[in-house]
Amino acid sequence: MAVEPLFGTRAQKAFIITIAIQAVVVVTMVALTFGMVQADVGTTFTELGYKTLPCYLALFILAEIFELAMAFDALRLRNIIQLMGIVLFHGALIVFSALQFHETHVAIFNCEPYCVTDPNQLWNKVERFLIVAPCIVAASWLFLLFWIKQLYAEFGWVIFHVVGANPKFKSMYQFYQIFICLLKFDFFCFVGVTMQLLIVVLSKDSAEFGVTIAAIPVVLLLLAGCTRAVKHEVKWLMAISLTLMLPAMSYLYKLDRFYAPSSKAQYVSTRATLTVFTVVAFLLLSASLVIGIKCFLDFDKGLYESKAHDLNRDSRYLPTPKTPGEMSEVPYSPGGAPLQPQISIE
């Protein structure tokens, strides 16, 4: 079977177009909500209760850009594992958009009386947009499930061209793909939690604000180092990265602050979203640690060349054009590296 070019099939085009259309619609709904509340509230928009709305808008823009980038990358690399991760991520967006309905309601009705003249009137204006957002995300998710079935049939065999038919190499390569995918979602969750804390909760004068800012480059370097280490099988860098994941998981302690009597008032309008993001980030990082150890144990077992291989840049795995019935030479190796040409008839 020939490898189809990027966006060369209806399923590929439909998958990326579905994500793009829902992204435009949902961000528009969120932006309208943001604009209406700001117009109604005016100069009191910076009150704690209303800070959840710019955060809501920023998170959705980040999520949609991230999802589009992940979808393009998955289609470019023919990575079915990453495509499945996108479908799960899209399902999480349904939950997030539904949570924002509740949190926006809390922000509007729990603010001090001087924040808005008539909370009920403002809520009636924005409620329809807050309902449309999760409905659009959910509807597009059903379309994505349909298209991913076709993409699975299209991409499912591509791993054979990368690592060959050896089940051992196939298993190791799949764990490698899962680990890289987890690191990408770790990045999104970390940025999401940090963004909410910096925009909504933390005061610039607080010590926690400084610690949160200082943690950003450290975590980004950790994720980047882990990615490079597993791809190039750099043992010392991988060992350091996996070790640093343990203190990074201590981020879970913030759950206590979300619900502690002395600090819970700070998080009243974003507690649900922050809790979900923090728990998911912890679970993803835990999974990354476990899968990372498995990948570390697979170093020096013959998978390095397949990891460094990029299907779009390596012509060894792209069949040459041929007429029907023509015999062609296809390089094959159980480890993903071409040996002597094998004869195949397509």
Residue 154 clears pLDDT 60, i.e. is over it: yes
Count Cβ atoms below 10 Å from residue 256 Cβ, excluding itself.
Answer: 9
Classified as helix, coil or strand, 329 is strand
SS3 assignment, position 327: strand
Answer yes or no: is pLDDT of 86 > 90: yes
Measured CA distances, 334 to 157, 163, 311 (Å): 14, 6, 17
Rounded to the nearest angstrom, the gap between the alpha carbon of residue 250 and the centroid of all alpha carbons in its chain is: 21
Asked if the model's pLDDT at residue 317 lies above 50, the reply is: no
For the chain, percent of residues with pLDDT exceeding 70: 73
> What are the residues facing 145 on neighbouring strands?
none
Q: What is the pTM of this model?
A: 0.79
Residues 134/84, Cβ–Cβ less than 8 Å: no
Name the residue type at position 284: L
Report how far residue 109's alpha carbon sits from residue 97's, in angstroms, rounded to the nearest whole number: 19
Which of 134-138, 201-205, 253-257: highest mean pLDDT?
A: 134-138
CB 55, CB 200: distance < 8 Å: yes
Task: Give the per-residue pLDDT at 43.
Answer: 56
In a 13 Å sphere around the CA of 222, the CA atoms on its Cβ side amount to: 23
Helix or strand (DSSP H, E) at 176: helix 167-196
Burial annotation 161-182 (CB, 10 A radius, 16+ → b, else e): bbbbebeebbebbebbbbbbbb
Specify the pLDDT at position 321: 41
- Given a cut of 80, whether residue 169 has pLDDT beyond it is no
Contact 273, 196 (CB under 8 A): yes
- Cβ pair 178, 81 in contact under 8 A: yes
On average, the pLDDT of the chain sits at 77
Q: Report pLDDT for 239.
A: 92
Q: Once rounded to an integer, what is the mean pLDDT over residues 8-37?
A: 89
Residue type, 95: V
DSSP letter for 36, please. Answer: H
Task: Give the integer Cα–Cα distance in Å for 266 and 317.
Answer: 55
pLDDT at 104: 80
Task: Tell me the CA end-to-end span of the chain in Å, nearest whole number.
Answer: 7
8 A C-beta contact, residue 37 and residue 45 = yes
Query: What is the average per-residue pLDDT within 284-296?
Result: 92
